[in-house]
Structure 1
Amino acid sequence: MFCATVTFIFGTLVTAPVFCVEVYVFTEMESFTNTVGNINIIERLDLRNSSTTCWRLCHRNSECSSYFENMITEECRLISTNLTNGEVVGETGWKYFVKMRRQVPSKTRCLSHAGFSFDEEANLCFKFLTEEKIYRPAARENCTAAGGRFLQIKSEMQHNAVVKYMETLYPNYSPIIDGRRPDNDGTVWTFEDDEALSYFKWGQGQPENNRNCIGLSKEDDFNWASATCSKRNSYLCEVPLDGI
């Protein structure tokens, strides 16, 4: 998706197309401070024993249009509509946030996440997750906590951007990217969301049997090599710029 940005160059107004994404933003409605909605509630949630935030739950729920959050009791209420003053009652500690779509440049979306790198040509926002090798469930949790997922490489341009990044910053690592096969000896590879892979960059002799994940091999110029999912590995994580 492209959108236009307006800048001044030597006193001349110039409109330039840039990659843009539509994202949800949450605006606090201060007129509802210390009030809480009691109708059109989708779900009531207790966040005290969870690392998940209320805004992330609302972001991922297509029915959620707004939410109430109480930072004192760590409670959350997802609401299916935008409320009016006639639909709320007074109660200490509650704040109200409205969910809205906004079009922003991809780079802006990426730079809002600490530690991520933005490649403008590939329109890719990603980072090397950790220098310490960890198990896949922990890596997935860390990616999700950053609002992302395991890196999905879908084109030669994206692959080249990642190779350049690894060669420059992490040349001694062979990180895991998104991609797995249910059958260790099969030919079908899917991402974690079950989308089938259509682009591959296998190195010589790859993929090997009995390995069901995909890694970038430092010994083979970061071409792809099959890897063992159950072992400790390093990982690449991305913030998907087509929305999450």
Structure 2
Amino acid sequence: MTISSFQKQLATQITEFLSTKTVSDSSRQAYAYDLKQFANLISGQIDATSLKVYENQLKDWKPSVQKRKRSAVNQFLRYLYQKGDLSEFLTLSEIARVSTQEEELERLELLALYEGQEGPGKLACLFILELGLLPSEFLELDWADIDLAFGIVTVAKGSTKRVLRLDGALNQSLLMIKNENSQGLLLGKPFTRQWLYKQIQTYVTACGLPGVTAQILRQQFILRQIEKGTGAFELARLLGLKSPVTLEKYYKT
């Protein structure tokens, strides 16, 4: 079989495989993209040697992407074997589960956090995600620090103060509770960080994001700001840091 005819056959097999998947359109597109790339890197035939070459190509991708691509290809290989198009069952080796800095800094889809039930857990999550606050800073917020008319929050840390801009979603959440408690601390009374961590964990779990923590939310704020083009010195100011040194890893990523 020529390379040209092999590629055409592989394209047909991929189309047939995708027709068997009961998934969302976005997931189907992801499968199609990964398998098309696989097909472009395989020449002549699918065997242990060609799969090894493909695996070497995967090393250029970050671990989370490697995992997705390996899964798509392995499902496709299983399909071909079950159909009888492969004489032996072949599979890509699983990537070792290693927690790398690159994985930790991956941008997450957190839309569900905006749609959950109102309460201290949601409010804390949005303050950290949207403003980059530390849990301790959130607990110390006073209504006097919040100006809903101008959409700003003033955060005091030691002898310094920083003024942060409230977005629409966070502003709306604050408006909903202002009538109930518009004086003193934002949460009405002092609470411990342990209590707040429990509120956050309960909320993110209810939103289907059990692995998300306050630290991850603060990282996501950083990544969002970098996507917007915020410079290191300005981002350090927003976070209340004395210098941007600790942010270098985010900009390198």
The normalised TM-score by structure 1 is: 0.26
Structure having the higher Rg: 2
More strand by share: 1
The higher relative CO (CA closer than 8 Å, separation ≥ 6) is in 1
The normalised TM-score by structure 2 is: 0.25
